[in-house]
Amino acid sequence: MGLDLFVKKLVYGGYGLGEDRGKKFFIRYAAPKELVEVEVLKEKKDYTEAVVKTVKIGSQWRRTPPCKYYTHCGGCQWQHIEYQEQLRAKADILLESLERIGKIKLDSVNGILGSKEEFGYRTRVQFKIREGHLGFFAWGSGELVPIEECLLAHPRINQLIPSLKETARLVKELQEIHVFYSPHEDEFLLKLITASPMETQKLRKLKEHILPKEVVGLGNYTVLGGKFIKRAVVGREFTFVRSGRFILRVSNDSFFQVNHTLYEDFPKLVVEGEKVKRVLELHSGVGFFSFWLLENCEFLFGSDANQNAIKDAIYNAKLNQVSNVSFAHERAVDTLKNHAGEVIDLLVLDPPREGLSEGEAKLIVQNKPKRIIYISCNPTTLARDLKVLVSGGYKIEGVHLVDNFPQTYHIESVVKLTI
């Protein structure tokens, strides 16, 4: 017999939160304010993980998920919830993280930038391959769920799937296929991740005879020590993407935002109201935010630990005829050390999910740039870092939620601080 639970709210990780006799339950596929019968999946020390078996009293925000693989494939967690409620829940989770971890209490976010499309927004997709079958892993496991289409992927990526399946059939050691699509150029860059290196000749045959002509670049990679090592490339290693009036070259090994519906609105939100002399930008990538920032500042110095991204950024400065900028290939902590003692009007941070390192946070507080814009993709590490910055004398001017990943629990945000 199952257990009946009332779902209080949604929490980070994609779960609904329930309680029974003081024990917390993290419930998959639950919606806020509903009564559900659950099946226990895992008993942990502090909580129990469960899944909805039957909805007894449905939430007013519950809907029929449009994807036929939903609850099988683990890529989405919230398709069964109306999009406006997903946004509201994400704002609540962001505020709750700031208060619980960062000890920062805010009444509300200053604004929510939702995705222009709920589906079809992703320009980057990583398909998993097992025994020649293409799909995604189930929630919390390495079990492959074969798929014919992904509703989050750009429609053009879905049109590519039959030729990707044929590639998976022909390449015996294939583990993953990474797809990057440029809506501006209508072309693809692909990475084939294999257990051992492929011959360049085999790659060339795949590109010429199996994959459509829109696949302009095909690379082969193997995994060594948790990192992707490039083994061979056929065709081009880059494409071009449009962000407002800027055209950006993006290499296959450079990071780039995945939601094409926000390629203009996201950087606009970041630069809104900023007018300064000197900007220091860490984790600048190919210059996605940099060139927008440069419209309202005298000089920008950007750095990134990814050499490919910096090569792209330098190329993009020339391409967009921007001269008041300099990019360097170095770690964020080294950039902060190299600029210690300088007057920085604005520091822009866009760290990976791990957030700032302890050394970086310390150096920022020591050097005291006048303003900080923190672009975060993880509310947990954001809250931890803001705690350090606020205790170092900074005041939070505004917090905006950015939804780059509808149907999932992932939360992006933009926080502006001033000293």
Write down how long the chain is: 419
Nearest to 285 by CA among 253, 263, 262: 253
Edge to edge, the sheet with strand 23-28 lists 3-6, 35-43, 47-57, 23-28, 15-20, 9-11
CA angle 345, 263, 151 (to 5 degrees): 140
CB within 8 A of 85, min separation 6: which ones? 31, 32, 61
Strand pairing of 297-304 and 325-329? Answer: parallel
Q: Which of 334, 349, 335 is nearest to 382 (CA)?
A: 349
Task: Quickly tell me which residue has 């923190």 as its tokens.
Answer: 374
Q: Which residue has the tokens 């294939």?
A: 174
Phi, psi dihedrals of residue 21, rounded to the nearest 5°: 50, 45
What span, in angstroms and rounded, lies between the C-alpha atoms of 210 and 288? 33
The pair of three-digit structure tokens given for residue 194, joined into one six-digit string: 């294999």
Burial 22-51 (b: 16+ CB within 10 A, else e): eeebbbbbbbbebebebeeeeeeeeebbbb
Answer yes or no: are the C-beta atoms of 114 and 404 closer than 8 Å. Answer: no
Q: Which two tokens stand for residue 223?
A: 């995994």
Beta bridge mates, 50? 27, 40
Query: Known catalytic residue: 73?
Result: no
Annotated catalytic residue: which of 73, 76, 150, 377?
377
* Backbone CA torsion sign across 195, 196, 202, 207: positive
Cite the active site residues.
377
